[in-house]
Structure 1
């Protein structure tokens, strides 16, 4: 039995949105990809998570080049649930279609890199919250935390440089 035209459009839209998200991830500089992967690893390892989450879209990003191959990164982005179960190996957007019935996770990460690798000190900061539950105070606290990380090394505010 042939599918109704709207079902074909819906299926095409799901494939396009998954491909668009994967494309936007692939366009991120490597230093930002590492932070997204860190957040994905943290979220997908959480016991309460039932479905695999993948990068969906950047909200805001900035970086400070502190010199001597040291860079401070701030990245605020969305992760979106997929139809794959938590723990799925090689769960890219091409194999795991996004679900549209779950809220997005709003994630903020900040970390220091040296020679392109995330440093253990100061400890990378990862905060992911369901989008509807995110408050202005939470957003403010995230930014303050990330700015303190930069100030502890004498560098300017991370969010003063928006790229």
Structure 2
């Protein structure tokens, strides 16, 4: 009986953690690269103690002016897991429900599917309760400037996917 209960709990935690990875896997490759950039930045902070995973997208938009160039804006949530930071493969970690989400916005230029270093990719992540309207406006302004600096139309004027 105890073995059956243990197997059931193990299967349930595997199913729950696979849903976390499923949301990430459903993102287009270009958007996953931006999420990876944000996760790298989050995990580099010494004050962060838990492993974070992609939770869900809020807003996605992109512009393709041609010549294999693409400007991407992605606003999404990261969520803490029960695993400690530094896990080599955090995909088996379960989400915690006792920590606030981290709201991230990234915008960057890609060429042939790879993130370009010029202009410098913009990554802004903050705990959701601390996010202000002013911060959101600054994000939009910064990302619009990124597109204009290269002569592309504004990123957030595109008809993105929600």
Q: TM-score, normalising length from structure 1?
A: 0.89
**Equivalent position of 1:129 in the other structure:** 126
Distance in 1 between residues matched to 2:117 and 2:41, nearest whole Å: 15
User: Counterparts in 2 of 1:3-152, with a 5 A limit?
Assistant: 12=12, 16-92=15-91, 95-152=92-149
| Unmatched tracts of structure 2, length 5 or more | 3-7
Q: TM-score, normalised by structure 2?
A: 0.89
Aligned residues: 155
The alignment yields a C-alpha RMSD, in angstroms, of 1.9
Inter-partner Cα distance in structure 2 for 1:145 and 1:61: 16
CA contact (8 A) 1:45 1:87 kept: no
Stretches (4+) displaced over 2 A:
14-21
Shift of 1:19: 2.8
Question: 1:111-141 CA distances to partner (integer Å, 9 max, x unpaired)?
Answer: 0000000000000000000000000110010
| d(CA) in 2 for partners of 1:142, 1:34 | 19
Per-residue Cα deviation, 1:71-123 (whole angstroms, up to 9, x for no partner): 0000000000011111111111xx11111100000000000000000000000
